[in-house]
């Protein structure tokens, strides 16, 4: 006997081409986020892009160039918009094909609920279960909010998607779906982290000295936070917890090494809480039907008030620049957009409010441009157009390969002094001169070599 859910499923199955025909000029379209890019639906929509105009495409962190964008080389029919830039969006932005949506990440679902009108949601999911639910896989984030606000909900079923337990909002029911497209079961994105550099190891070593037994970890994207995870796995730290926006491969290593138990967490005890995951099959297989992992919308994982409920929260995030006023830029270099606010501001605030919590802003002391010229990442002031991601009033710890400094409660003079002390020695003298010109330096003060 066919269940009523299965009957609904079969009634709602259509081809990707038929789904694409439902898109109208002027529509706002949401593609599912991160590793869950809806490839088959995107390909079908690209086939008829020349028939449409004034389309707006939204997602969070495009992991491939949408075919609808490739099919519109003069960008006459569609423009992409992204809530968090990565390599794909940076490239598209350089070609005037993609624009950033500024957001304090934990507010994303609320912003969507209050202000966003979306016409079509095209979302990848795991196959329907016996009770009629489709699982959103390793991406919760803002997807449930977009599904709630979309007039037309089209799912692309992918058997490669792991079934990720909640938390909450990790599923959508067949009753709430308009159409189902059976996809080509593409493998999920395999995100390999870049090999850590020597300065990453040095920065990670400073952070390791600050982590205590029972700490609750948040690790941002990038090789350095992953490196910290690897070092923790090899340490003797005990009873660590995880409450993060992004689950990564190193979390698997930490769990399998016995470092993560979650036994000292005050909320979601014993659970590795996250909003999205990006990594390799090692991570996706670990997450599949694993009750240790708990998927939540970003309005929960990244709410500073929720974060602070756990003790000893350790938040580890990267930055592009820090100026002598202690402002942090993590998303743009001048007018060129690089990344996004993401959860950095959320977790810096949450970690500070956590009992014993510590929020770390990490960056190499220098970078080298395409002409081989070395520049300091600790600068007198930001480039014109650079975005302040974390205001100086909220910065706690800043770390480079030359040291770690805590800035809370310090005056502009003390902050400048501390930041110059962890700048590359080659730039310290000119930074002192700049601080004097900015009137944030005591002239008799010296930086020890």
**Which residue segments constitute the domains of the chain, with CATH numbers given?**
4-182 (3.40.1080.10), 198-437 (3.40.1080.20)
d(C-alpha 201, C-alpha 204), whole Å: 5
Tell me: pLDDT of 401 over 90: yes
Give one word for 47, left, alpha or beta, with left for phi > 0 and alpha for psi -120 to 50.
Answer: alpha
Q: Which two tokens stand for residue 192?
A: 């390999």
Q: What is the mean pLDDT of residues 351-358?
A: 98
Q: What is the mean pLDDT of residues 161-184?
A: 97
d(C-alpha 271, C-alpha 253), whole Å: 16
Tell me: pLDDT of 193 over 80: no
| pLDDT number for residue 448 | 56
Tell me: pLDDT of 442 over 90: no
Predicted confidence band at 41 (pLDDT cuts at 50, 70, 90)?
very high
Q: Tell me the angle at which helices 412-421 and 425-437 cross, rounded to the nearest 10 degrees.
A: 160
Number of H helices, E strands in the chain: 16, 26
User: Mean pLDDT across the chain, nearest whole number?
Assistant: 95
Options 33, 156, 245, 401, the catalytic residue: 245
Give me the sheet containing 378-379, strands edge to edge. 328-329, 321-323, 378-379
Of residues 161 and 224, more confidence is placed in 161
Tell me: pLDDT of 444 over 70: no
Tell me: pLDDT of 226 over 90: no
Q: What share of the chain is helix, strand, coil (3-state, %, to 5)?
A: 30, 25, 45
Tell me: pLDDT of 6 over 70: yes
Whole-model pTM: value is 0.95
Tell me: pLDDT of 229 over 80: yes
Helices (DSSP H) in 123-234: which residue ranges?
143-149, 198-208, 223-233
Q: What is the mean pLDDT of residues 205-212?
A: 97
Predicted confidence band at 447 (pLDDT cuts at 50, 70, 90)?
low
Tell me: pLDDT of 1 over 80: no
Q: Which two tokens stand for residue 349?
A: 């605030």
| pLDDT number for residue 446 | 64
Does residue 245 carry a catalytic annotation?
Answer: yes
| pLDDT number for residue 148 | 97
Predicted confidence band at 22 (pLDDT cuts at 50, 70, 90)?
very high
Of residues 391 and 192, more confidence is placed in 391
**Predicted confidence (pLDDT) per residue in 370-388, tens digit:** 999 999 999 999 999 999 9
d(C-alpha 244, C-alpha 258), whole Å: 18
Q: What is the mean pLDDT of residues 328-341?
A: 93
d(C-alpha 393, C-alpha 299), whole Å: 23
């Amino acid at each position: 006997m066919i269940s009523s859910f299965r009957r609904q499923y079969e009634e709602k199955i259509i081809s990707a081409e038929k789904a694409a025909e439902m898109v109208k000029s002027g529509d706002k379209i949401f593609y599912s986020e991160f590793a869950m890019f809806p490839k088959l639906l995107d390909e079908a929509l690209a086939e008829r892009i020349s028939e449409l105009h004034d389309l707006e495409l939204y997602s969070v962190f495009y992991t491939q160039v949408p075919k609808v964008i490739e099919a519109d080389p003069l960008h006459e029919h569609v423009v992409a918009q992204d809530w968090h830039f990565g390599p794909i969006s940076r490239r598209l932005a350089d070609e005037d094909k993609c624009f950033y949506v500024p957001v304090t990440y934990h507010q994303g679902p609320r912003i969507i609920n209050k202000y966003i009108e979306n016409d079509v949601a095209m979302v990848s999911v795991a196959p329907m279960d016996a009770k009629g639910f489709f699982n959103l896989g390793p991406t919760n984030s803002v997807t449930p909010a977009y599904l709630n606000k979309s007039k037309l909900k089209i799912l692309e079923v992918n058997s490669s998607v792991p079934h990720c337990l909640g938390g909450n909002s990790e599923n959508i029911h067949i009753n709430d779906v308009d159409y189902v497209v059976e996809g080509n079961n593409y493998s999920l994105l395999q995100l390999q982290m870049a090999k850590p550099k020597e300065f990453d190891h040095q920065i990670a070593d400073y952070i390791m000295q600050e982590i205590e037994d029972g700490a609750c970890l948040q690790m941002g994207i990038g090789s350095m936070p992953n490196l910290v995870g690897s070092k923790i796995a090899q340490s003797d730290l005990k009873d660590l917890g995880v409450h993060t926006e992004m689950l990564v491969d190193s979390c698997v290593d930490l769990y399998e090494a016995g470092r993560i138990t979650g036994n000292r967490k005050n909320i979601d005890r014993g659970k590795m809480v996250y909003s999205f995951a990006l990594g390799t099959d090692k991570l996706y297989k670990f997450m599949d039907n694993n009750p240790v992992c708990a998927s939540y919308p970003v309005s929960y994982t990244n709410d500073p008030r929720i974060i602070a409920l756990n003790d000893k929260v350790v938040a580890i995030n990267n930055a592009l620049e820090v100026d002598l006023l202690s402002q942090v830029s993590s998303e743009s270099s001048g007018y060129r957009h690089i990344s996004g606010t993401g959860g950095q501001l959320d977790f810096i605030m949450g970690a500070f409010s956590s009992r014993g919590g510590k929020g770390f802003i990490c960056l190499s002391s220098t970078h080298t441009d395409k002409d081989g010229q070395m520049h300091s990442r600790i600068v007198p002031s930001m480039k014109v157009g650079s975005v302040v991601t974390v205001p100086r009033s909220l910065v706690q710890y800043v770390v480079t390969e030359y040291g770690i400094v805590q800035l809370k409660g310090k005056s502009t003079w003390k902050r400048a002094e501390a930041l110059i002390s962890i700048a590359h020695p080659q730039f310290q003298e000119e930074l002192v001169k700049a601080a004097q010109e900015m009137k944030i330096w005591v002239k008799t003060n010296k930086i020890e070599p």
